[in-house]
Amino acid sequence: MSGPPTTHEGTGPVLAGGHDEAEAHHEHPGDAQYIKIALILAVITGVEVFLSYWHAVKDLLAPLLIVLSIVKFAIVVAFFMHLRFDSRLFRRLFIAGIGLALFCFTIVLTTFHVWTR
């Protein structure tokens, strides 16, 4: 017979999980992986800044920046918000959110005639 849940260094109750629960959890990236992800995000940000000063891509600047921001959004959500390791429902909610944001950005940019300049 087991007693009540015990605490681990005063952080709260330790609940004994079943075998299925242990298999449901995935290995999260380590510190080195997070540093690589941060460097990738920094490079993408550098590309965005470079593109904003490069006058040759003036006509394609808005679509390029939107695509790069979607890539950064996906990386941040997948790793730093741990969405990659969560339920598919959460992924679908974020994908729906980015779809709605793209729709709104397109409407606003079209309203201000960015596409015709």
Where along the chain do its domains lie? 27-111
Low pLDDT (below 50) residues in the chain: 15-23
For 8-36, how does the pLDDT look when each residue is reduced to its tens digit (9 = 90+)?
555 555 544 444 444 455 667 788 988 99
Please give the pLDDT value at position 58. 85
Q: What per-residue confidence (pLDDT) applies to 50? A: 94
Q: Which sign, positive or negative, has the C-alpha torsion 73, 76, 72, 52?
A: positive
**Angle, vertex CA 100, rays to CA 97 and CA 105, nearest 5:** 125
> Given 3-state DSSP classes, what are the helix, strand and coil percentages for the chain, each rounded to the nearest 5?
70, 5, 25
Instruction: For residue 104, give both structure tokens.
Output: 């709104």
pTM recorded for the entire structure: 0.59
Q: Using CA atoms, how far apart are residues 45 and 72, in angstroms rounded to an integer? A: 9
